[in-house]
């Protein structure tokens, strides 16, 4: 192929991302009769979803029959500190059970209860055992099940159309660098194949962003190389807005040693199944960190917490199972106070809590991971753990029912979408989010394409010239910087200056550096040619990481309170007035600057607010909001 | 704590290539993938390698280290001495694309040839009931991270390109076993394993089990039980008679 030659493909729906959300969206679009393309940066079946360990939250009530969608909704709102988009939290809680059951019809094999139903486990912030799971490799089961469902649809297409790829095709190791537009409307997506370096344009009236998160902008992260905020940046460059980017979840338990595995996730199931956190003095310190809003739900003594595992009806849960933001901050404080473990974390111990065989059965991947990477036998000794950048709650602003972004023809689902999790996501709510909103994205995109009646937007040749130039520019630069160096500096800056605890002067410092990174990222030079060239790939991803990091830093500077995944040293408390505010980032047309504006959080419908009692609401709402509630019992 | 390690890495593409020597810093606790990343960042910006999770969960970074199929992210530098020279080459069974990256599309093609899960008719979503003990057999096979190391090491295809058409390889024979042992799958898969996917080629050398990073007992738990049942069907006189009668009824 010549330098600027471009392969062309035409589809009804193009899904960017082949993790849980992307695959579920593609399955739905295909079932709605759309010719669908799935674009995957990696090989098919390798997406970051495989890393999810604990389970899928869905109120099936298999283990505790009291569970239902209302309780799940309530837990989700509490976890997100009431900043969640309430309609998204409602749809998610209502539809998650059906999405899990459906996986069994695709061939998934979850762990079972004694009566043969899907087993459910305890997790942080969930009132009842709620997570459908397969040991501690639930994400792998999810991705493989969806992958195999797509293969089964392709087998149907071979039978019906004589071609596996007649209706749904996976383009693997393909990265998208730009969305194509016809006026404001989406007209397709442009990118390159990693394997060959060939350029490609997909002409399609609907694009679903399902690209996951942004963790690779931080130094210590549980995220894979793919998590460079591509969808966030593509959406923003196309005119969509990003919601609440200041909320970044630091998972409390990442590995801290040896250095090469720092950040790799240690599943919350360790705590759900009885593991406890201790400091260097041997103390279960989490009892000292139960915030006011959660005093009613968490045990006050170790005895009570321990009794809860066998008798949850009459005891409160141990504080190790507080939402992730609380646990991460507590660990951070213990380490700062000099009570940390030798390698700068704290101890997570399951060895004294469960018999060795039980640990290997319930937590096989964790046993394996520590044994092989750290020489630690978790059945005999505690693990050392510390916070790791894990998830971004912020993302593309979407309509809850259809997942449509403000750009016509653009949809977003999963981690790249914002709103669902408010200021902090509960464990287990990610996999359910992927399934619920992945399906809705496929449906929303199909309905949108149907509404066009065949009048599809067109890709303009002049635009194509521009995006080709943009993609190939790192090869044109004569003297330029090494992309790996800029990436390392960016990660260090975000880690140090916009990390777990944030100070305004540090965020300002980060913003000043980011402006320089933005400039430097356009002058990167790569060596070699276009075929499978990781330096080139990083050079292009770097631009996305810079945009997303700017959004995180700007929003973090603006929000003068601490809530969920955003903690300000100078404003340590939650502020009820700020609960009403969403921060929204966008590009002004033709500008590379990030514009930030405030926008009201959608009201919580009366029937949903009635699920909480007044004393709990008083912890989150303003005086004026409380006064406006109806008299008497809300239910 | 750190030292200068000696590495030999195959670099090239479909047109050819060669082993190149590198001397590179190695720190305590690192794995081979860390060293490859350091080479990319400091000496060879365009060195091609696949990787994703760096935690042994995605099965992307498969290659051969000193001739043995391994995951780069799960091979600790502490298993070598400071004087060892470590040779890293791409998977031998699959065509090379560039450097350590190979074309593994063979595996995806085979995956498509295995008929999908055949759900039980008349059982609605939500009504599936299975006992833990019955799902555990297939769950072992579903731990597979599709790193394709078993496919790479299997001598049936490693040194015999012409067998690739008729042999699905350990990973996909295990997939058939997984579906066959699924408590609710409605298809009989033994004959297909033998006739269409080359189960008979396997002569139980267990190389696949040896290289499996998930420690799945591919040969003992998946392939041998399936071979035994294929044999039962073929040579059990009652099964043989039964199949004749049924066939006659269909006439």
Q: Reading across the β-sheet that carries A199-203, which strands appear in turn?
A: A6-10, A199-203, A185-193, A174-182
Please say whether the dihedral angle defined by the alpha carbons of residues A286, A292, A296 and A300, taken in this order, is positive or negative: positive
Q: What is the pLDDT of residue A588?
A: 86
**A613 touching B (Cβ < 8 Å):** no
Q: Which residues of B touch A105 (CB under 8 A)?
A: 119, 125, 128
Predicted confidence (pLDDT) per residue in A119-137, tens digit: 999 998 999 999 999 998 9
Mutation site, B50, B53, B71, interface A, largest A CB count within 10 A = B53
CA dist list (Å): A576 to A323, A503, A624: 19, 21, 10
Cβ pair B125:A98 closer than 8 A: yes
Question: Which member of B27, B115, B138 has the closest CB to residue A155?
Answer: B115
| Residue from A271, A317, A518, A568 carrying the catalytic annotation | A271
Cβ pair A260:B117 closer than 8 A: no
Q: Of all residues in chain B, what percent carry a pLDDT higher than 70?
A: 92
Task: Classify residue A227 as exposed, middle or buried by CB count within 10 Å of its CB (0-12, 13-18, 19+).
Answer: buried
Give the gap in angstroms from C-alpha B35 to the nearest C-alpha of chain A.
Answer: 10
Residues of B in contact with A264 (CB under 8 A): 54-55
Report CB contact under 8 Å: B41, A484. Answer: yes
pLDDT digits (tens, 9 = 90+) for B76-110: 999 999 999 999 999 999 999 999 999 999 999 99
Report the residue of chain A nearest B76, measured CA to CA: A373
* Set of chain A residues whose Cβ sits within 8 Å of the Cβ of B103: 195
Residue A306 pLDDT exceeds 90: yes
Pick among A43, A264, A360, A535 to test the B interface (most B CBs inside 10 A): A43
* A605 belongs to the catalytic site: no
Average pLDDT of span A630-635: 70
CA distance B55 to chain A (A): 7
Whether A198 has a pLDDT exceeding 90, the answer reads yes
What is the predicted ipTM? 0.92
Above 60 in pLDDT, residue B246? no
CA distance linking residue A470 with residue A479, whole number of Å: 17
Inform me whether the pLDDT recorded for B217 exceeds 90: yes
Q: Rounded CA gap, A98 and A106, in Å?
A: 13
Q: What pLDDT, on the 0 to 100 scale, is given for residue B247?
A: 54
Give A529's contacts in chain B (Cβ within 8 Å): 46
Taking an 8 Å cut-off on Cβ atoms, the answer to whether B55 and A261 are in contact is: yes
pLDDT at position A1: 45
Query: What tokens appear for B230 in the block?
Result: 């294929």
Q: Please indicate whether, in this complex, the C-beta atoms of A50 and B130 are within 8 angstroms of each other.
A: no
Residue B55 to residue A373, Cβ atoms within 8 A: yes
CA distance A534 to A530: 9
- The active-site residue out of A251, A362, A425, A566 is A251
Chain A residue nearest residue B108, CA to CA = A44
Q: How confident is the model at residue B251 (pLDDT cuts 50, 70, 90)?
A: very low
* pLDDT tier at B241, thresholds 50, 70, 90: low
Among all residues of chain A, which has the CA nearest to that of B44? A527
Cβ distance A488 to B41 less than 8 Å, yes or no, reads yes
B54: which chain A residues are within 8 Å (Cβ-Cβ)? Answer: 224, 261, 264
Q: Which residues pair with B13 in a beta bridge?
A: B16, B98
Measured between beta carbons, which residues in chain B are less than 8 angstroms from residue A225? 51-52
**pLDDT of A2 strictly over 60:** no
Burial environment of residue A155 by CB neighbours within 10 A (0 to 12, 13 to 18, 19 or more) = middle
Residue located via tokens 């090469």:
A260
- A594-600 and A567-568: which strand pairing? unpaired
Q: Which of B56, B98, B122, B135 should be substituted to probe chain A, the one whose Cβ sees the most A Cβ atoms within 10 Å?
A: B98
Min distance A303 CA to chain B CA atoms (Å): 31
Nearest-CA distance B30 → chain A (Å) = 5
Task: Say how many C-beta atoms besides its own lie within 10 A of residue A209's C-beta.
Answer: 35
Q: How confident is the model at residue B244 (pLDDT cuts 50, 70, 90)?
A: low
| Distance between B186 CA and the closest CA of chain A, angstroms | 11
Question: Do the Cβ atoms of B116 and A107 come within 8 Å?
Answer: yes
Establish if B186 touches chain A: CB-CB under 8 angstroms.
no
> Is the distance from CB of A207 to CB of A190 less than 8 angstroms?
no
DSSP string for residues in A321-370: GS-HHHHHHHHHHHHHTT---TTSSEEEE-TTTS-HHHHHHH-HHHHHHH
Using an 8 Å CB-CB cutoff, list chain B residues near A195.
97, 101, 103
**A383-397 burial by CB neighbour count: b if 16+ within 10 A, else e?**
bbbbbbbbbbbbbbb
> Known catalytic residue: A251?
yes
Residue A194, classed as helix, strand or coil, is coil
Q: Do B112 and A154 touch (CB under 8 A)?
A: yes
Cα–Cα nearest to A621, from A576, A581, A580, A582: A576
**Cβ of residue A475 closer than 8 Å to a chain B Cβ:** no
Split at pLDDT 50, 70, 90, the class of B250 is: very low
* Chain A residue with Cα closest to B103: A195
Using an 8 Å Cβ cutoff, are B100 and B10 in contact? yes
Name residue B70's beta-bridge partners: B63
Q: Tell me how far apart the alpha carbons of residues A509 and A524 are, in angstroms, rounded to a whole number.
A: 23
Q: Which A positions 143-202 lie with beta carbon below 8 A of chain B?
A: 144, 148-149, 151-152, 154-155, 164, 195
Query: Other C-beta atoms within 10 Å of A599: how many?
Result: 14
A142 close to B (CB below 8 A): no
- The pLDDT value recorded for residue B185 is 97
Q: What is the pLDDT of residue B243?
A: 59
Q: For residue B47, list chain A residues with Cβ-Cβ distance below 8 A.
A: 534
Q: Which of B53-57, B216-220, B240-244 has the highest mean pLDDT?
A: B216-220
Phi-psi group of A112: left, alpha or beta (phi > 0 → left; psi -120 to 50 → alpha; rest → beta):
beta
Give the mutation candidate from A118, A532, A542 for the B interface (greatest B CB count, under 10 A). A532
pLDDT tens profile B104-134: 999 999 999 999 999 999 999 999 999 999 9
- Give Cα B164 to chain centroid, integer Å: 14
Mean pLDDT of A439-458: 97
Place of tokens 């044994």: A371
pTM of the model: 0.94
Closest CA to B156 of B169, B175, B171: B169
Strands A276-278 and A501-502: unpaired
Helix (H) or strand (E) holding A176: strand A174-182
pLDDT tens-digit series, residues B163-198:
999 999 999 999 999 999 999 999 999 889 999 999
Mark yes or no for CB contact A42/B50 under 8 Å: yes
């Amino acid at each position: 192929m010549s330098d600027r030659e471009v392969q062309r493909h035409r589809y009804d729906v193009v899904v960017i991302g082949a993790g849980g959300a992307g695959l579920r969206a593609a399955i739905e679009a295909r079932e709605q009769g759309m010719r669908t393309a799935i674009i995957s940066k990696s090989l098919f079946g390798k997406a970051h979803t495989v890393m999810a360990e604990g389970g899928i939250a869905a109120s099936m009530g298999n283990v505790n029959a009291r569970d239902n969608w209302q309780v799940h909704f309530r837990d989700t709102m509490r976890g997100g500190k009431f900043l969640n988009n309430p309609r998204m939290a409602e749809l998610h809680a209502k539809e998650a059970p059906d999405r899990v059951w459906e996986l069994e019809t695709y061939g998934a094999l979850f762990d079972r209860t004694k009566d043969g139903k899907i087993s459910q486990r305890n997790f942080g912030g969930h009132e009842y055992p709620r997570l459908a799971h397969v040991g501690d490799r639930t994400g792998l089961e999810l991705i493989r099940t969806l992958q195999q469902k797509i293969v089964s649809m392709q087998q149907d297409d071979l039978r019906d159309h004589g071609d596996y790829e007649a209706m749904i095709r996976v383009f693997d190791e393909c990265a998208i660098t730009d969305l194509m537009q016809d006026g404001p409307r989406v007209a397709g997506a442009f990118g390159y194949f990693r394997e060959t370096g060939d350029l490609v344009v997909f002409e399609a009236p609907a694009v679903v962003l399902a690209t996951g998160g942004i963790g690779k902008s931080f130094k210590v992260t549980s995220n894979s190389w793919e998590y460079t905020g591509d969808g966030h940046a593509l959406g923003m460059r196309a005119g969509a807005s990003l919601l609440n980017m200041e909320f970044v979840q630091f998972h409390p338990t990442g590995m801290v040693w040896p250095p090469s595995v720092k950040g790799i996730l240690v599943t919350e199931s360790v705590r759900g199944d009885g593991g406890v956190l201790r400091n260097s003095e041997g103390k279960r310190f989490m009892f000292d960190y139960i915030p006011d809003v959660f005093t009613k739900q968490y045990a006050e003594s170790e005895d009570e917490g321990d009794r809860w595992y066998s008798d949850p009806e009459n005891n409160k849960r141990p504080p190790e199972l507080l939402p992730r933001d609380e646990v991460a901050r507590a660990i951070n404080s213990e380490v700062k106070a000099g009570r940390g473990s030798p390698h700068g974390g704290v101890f997570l111990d399951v060895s004294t809590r469960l018999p060795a065989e039980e640990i290997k059965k319930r937590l096989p991947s964790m046993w394996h991971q520590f044994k092989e990477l750290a020489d630690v036998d978790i059945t005999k000794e505690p693990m050392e753990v510390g916070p790791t950048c894990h998830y971004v709650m912020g993302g593309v602003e979407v309509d809850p029912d259809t997942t449509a972004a403000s750009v016509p023809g653009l949809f977003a689902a999963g981690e790249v979408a914002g709103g669902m999790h408010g200021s902090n996501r509960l464990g287990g709510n990610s996999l359910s989010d992927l399934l619920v909103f992945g399906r809705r994205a496929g449906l929303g995109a199909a309905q949108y394409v149907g509404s066009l009646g065949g009048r599809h937007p067109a890709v303009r040749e002049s635009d194509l010239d521009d995006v080709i130039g943009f993609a190939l520019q790192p090869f044109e630069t004569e003297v330029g910087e090494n992309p790996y160096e800029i990436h390392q500096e960016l990660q260090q800056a975000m880690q140090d200056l916009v990390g777990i605890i944030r100070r305004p002067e540090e965020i300002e410092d980060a913003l000043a550096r980011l402006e320089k990174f933005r400039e430097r990222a356009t002058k990167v030079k790569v060596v070699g040619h276009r075929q499978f060239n990781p330096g080139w790939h990083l050079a292009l991803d770097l631009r996305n990481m810079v945009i997303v990091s700017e959004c995180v830093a700007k929003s973090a500077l603006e929000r003068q309170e601490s809530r969920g995944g955003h903690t300000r040293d100078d404003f340590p408390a939650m502020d009820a007035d700020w609960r009403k505010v969403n921060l929204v980032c966008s590009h002004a047309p033709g500008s590379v600057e990030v514009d930030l504006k405030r926008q009201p959080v959608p009201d919580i419908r009366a029937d949903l607010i009635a699920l909480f009692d007044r004393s709990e609401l008083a912890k989150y709402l303003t005086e004026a909001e409380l006064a406006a509630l109806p008299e008497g019992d809300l239910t | 704590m750190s030292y200068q390690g000696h590495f030999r890495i195959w670099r090239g593409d479909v047109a050819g290539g060669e082993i190149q020597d590198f001397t590179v810093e190695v720190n305590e606790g690192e794995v081979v993938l860390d060293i490859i990343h350091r080479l990319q960042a400091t000496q060879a910006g365009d060195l091609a390698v696949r990787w994703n999770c760096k935690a042994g969960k995605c099965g992307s970074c498969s290659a051969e280290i000193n001739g043995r199929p391994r995951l780069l992210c799960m091979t600790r530098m502490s298993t070598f001495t400071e004087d060892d020279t470590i040779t890293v080459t791409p998977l031998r069974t699959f065509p090379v694309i560039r450097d350590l990256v190979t074309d593994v599309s063979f595996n995806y093609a085979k995956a498509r040839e295995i008929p999908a899960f055949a759900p039980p008719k008349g059982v609605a979503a939500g009504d599936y009931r299975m006992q833990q003990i019955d799902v555990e057999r297939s769950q072992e096979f579903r731990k597979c991270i599709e790193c394709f190391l078993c496919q790479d090491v299997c001598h049936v295809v490693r040194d015999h390109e012409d067998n690739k058409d008729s042999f699905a390889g350990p990973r996909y024979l295990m997939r058939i076993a997984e579906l066959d042992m699924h408590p609710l799958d409605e298809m009989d898969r033994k004959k297909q394993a033998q006739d269409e996917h080359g189960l008979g080629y396997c002569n139980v050398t267990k190389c696949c089990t040896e290289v499996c990073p998930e420690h799945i007992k591919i040969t003992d738990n998946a392939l041998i039980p399936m071979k035994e049942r294929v044999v039962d069907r073929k040579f059990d006189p009652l099964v043989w008679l039964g199949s004749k009668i049924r066939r006659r009824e269909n006439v």
